[in-house]
Amino acid sequence: MDESLVDAVRASDQGAFSRLAEPYRHELQVHCYRMLGSVEDAEDAVQETYLRAWARLDSFAGRAPFRAWLYGIATHACLDALRRRRARVWSTDVSGPADPRGAPAPPLDVPWLQPYPDRLLAAPAPPDAEPEAVVTAKETIELAFLAAIQRLPARQRAVLILRDVLDWSAKSTAASMGMTQAAVNSALQRAHATLAEHLPPDRADWTSAPSADEKALLGKLIAAWEQADTTALVGLLRADARFVMPPRPTWYAGRDDIEVFFRDHVFGELGTDWLLLPTAANHQPAFAMYRRAPGRPAHERFGIGVLRVEDGAVTEIATFRQPEVFASFALPATLRRRADGSVRDRRGDG
């Protein structure tokens, strides 16, 4: 680290502080997203982190890396945020599987876990940052992991992330959290016990980004959805697949029930005029959904879908209808289909 820059920061040089701190914004936002489960909340927490860091420059003694000092402040900013609001939830935590022959329940006003666009995971890292494979490894950013750690008490969650995700020592974690090393080890043990109940054991073998096979599977799902081919679509699912759709608490378990839901609701009540764009979230294959309602000139944004794939089959489809989720993917609000079937101006607004 440039000592002259550090000295300038300690002398309350705001420009020097920005040059020193801004390169860490991306990885701090990923860290806060893991803690809070929301892109918007993570952005707020990082902003609060920088405000607190600027106000507490005299507490940076230089004995620990500047990056670790920022992470400590960010972690406490997230803990403070979690004291003010409930943890983010997943549909399967809210209710049991629904009967697809009935209407889905209306949206539920609770804090829902949200996806993280891969475009934000691709931001450059500062020279002394952890390797990208460590900071955003798939098994520590995918939705199943995020849903599982939301079940942990806030301090257990923080300890787990610092120790297992960022690979901090028990000593460093204890110093940052204001805990004893024994308390850190105990919290980590309890967190591991909880996660073992909710996560598959082979997560560490997953790739760090959607594979070619996963992308091909996504392409097949998009084609089946746009053609309103229920049989082809459910043929891509594992027998015990789940379909969840925050902010509705309704979810469906099993290929047969999902088939009924698509046939009667997605392609029945909502119609067959869909366009889907491939994207990625949480290092998982994802897609943006656009629907053209009767009498409307264009396909309008409908939601974001994220796939969980295991052994070549889709095990979960999560669709998110919140406008703020769609906005974080920086996708067009509308699409138009040309007479030849192609889509016009996918990056514009139609």
Closest-CA residue to 244 (of 194, 324, 152, 315): 315
Strands (E), 282-333: 284-291, 299-310, 313-320
How far is Cα 203 from Cα 196, in angstroms, rounded to an integer?
11
Q: Given a cut of 50, is residue 270 above it in pLDDT?
A: yes
For residue 151, what pLDDT is reported? Answer: 93
Domain ranges, ordered by start, for the chain:
3-205, 212-344
Query: Contact, 325 vs 115, CB < 8 A?
Result: yes
- pLDDT band of 140, cuts 50, 70, 90: confident
For residue 143, what pLDDT is reported? Answer: 94
Q: For 278, which DSSP code?
A: E
Percent helix, strand and coil across the chain, each rounded to 5?
Answer: 50, 15, 35
Look up residue 161 and give its two tokens. 């992330």
- Please provide the size of the chain in residues: 350
For residue 256, what pLDDT is reported? Answer: 97
Q: Given a cut of 50, is residue 207 above it in pLDDT?
A: no
How far is Cα 216 from Cα 163, in angstroms, rounded to an integer?
35
- pLDDT band of 51, cuts 50, 70, 90: very high
For residue 283, what pLDDT is reported? Answer: 92
How far is Cα 158 from Cα 156, in angstroms, rounded to an integer?
5
Q: Regarding predicted confidence, which is higher, 135 or 147? A: 147
Average pLDDT value for residue range 313-336: 93
Average pLDDT value for residue range 266-282: 96
- CA angle, residues 343, 345, 349, in degrees to nearest 5: 115
- pLDDT band of 341, cuts 50, 70, 90: low
Q: Regarding predicted confidence, which is higher, 10 or 16? A: 16
**Chosen CATH of 3-205 out of 3.40.50.2000, 3.40.1280.10, 3.40.50.620, 1.10.1740.10:** 1.10.1740.10
For all residues of the chain together, what is the average pLDDT? 88
- pLDDT band of 130, cuts 50, 70, 90: low
CATH architecture of the domain with residue range 212-344: Roll (3.10)
Closest-CA residue to 120 (of 46, 20, 16): 46
- pLDDT band of 208, cuts 50, 70, 90: low
Lowest mean pLDDT among 58-62, 77-81, 281-285, 326-330: 58-62
H or E stretch covering 281: strand 274-281
Closest-CA residue to 112 (of 36, 21, 44, 188): 36
For residue 92, what pLDDT is reported? Answer: 93
Lowest mean pLDDT among 91-95, 124-128, 226-230: 124-128
In terms of average pLDDT, the best of 79-93, 116-130, 242-256 is 242-256
Residue found by looking up tokens 């099993």 in the block:
254
Q: Given a cut of 90, is residue 180 above it in pLDDT?
A: yes
Q: Given a cut of 80, is residue 139 above it in pLDDT?
A: no
Q: Bin 168: left if φ > 0, else alpha if -120 < ψ < 50, else beta.
A: beta
> How large a percentage of the chain has pLDDT more than 70?
84
Q: Do domains 3-205 and 212-344 have the same CATH topology?
A: no
For residue 132, what pLDDT is reported? Answer: 46
